[in-house]
Amino acid sequence: QQQVKQSPQSLIVQKGGISIINCAYENTAFDYFPWYQQFPGKGPALLIAIRPDVSEKKEGRFTISFNKSAKQFSLHIMDSQPGDSATYFCAAIVNSGYSTLTFGKGTMLLVSP
């Protein structure tokens, strides 16, 4: 049972455009939602994260939008650059006690020059 569904699987965006990656979750106990960025040949790295008590979090060109009632959250990359080309994973976790990250299946983003 996949608890975090991520779409699209791949995405091509022109330089300067907006990249949007969507995730939906099923487990209402999840209370922390990080995004990881992975460049080819490297391990994933934490990019940005959000708690469900806020609807939006912005760090530079990266924004997470969160819709608790719909159990959905999304990553927006504004002014996308070729250096943003990477695989992006959304994830979710119950942020207390002993819990583990549940990852989406990933989105491969290519930003064309």
Partner 1 sequence: NAGVTQTPKFQVLKTGQSMTLQCAQDMNHEYMSWYRQDPGMGLRLIHYSVGAGITDQGEVPNGYNVSRSTTEDFPLRLLSAAPSQTSVYFCASSYNVVRGHEQFFGPGTRLTVL
Tell me the number of residues near partner 1 by CB under 8 A. Answer: 25
Residues 72-111 that bind partner 1 (CB under 8 A): 89, 91, 93, 95-101, 103-106
Q: Does 32 bind partner 1 (CB under 8 A)?
A: yes
Q: d(Cα 21, Cα 10) in Å, to the nearest integer?
A: 9
The C-alpha atoms of residue 38 and residue 71 are separated, in whole angstroms, by 24
Among 21, 34, 62, 77, which residue sits at the site for partner 1 (rule: CB under 8 A)?
34
Of 21 and 91, nearer to partner 1 (C-beta) is 91
- Mask 35-74, x = binds partner 1 (CB under 8 A)? ------xxxxxx--x-------------------------
CB of 43 to partner 1, least distance (A): 3
| Those residues with Cβ within 8 angstroms of residue 1's Cβ, 6 or more apart along the chain or in another chain | 26
CB-neighbour burial class of residue 94 (10 A; exposed 0-12, middle 13-18, buried 19+): middle
Please provide residue 83's backbone torsions phi and psi, each rounded to the nearest 5 degrees: -70, -10
Q: Which is closer to partner 1, CB of 29 or CB of 45?
A: 45
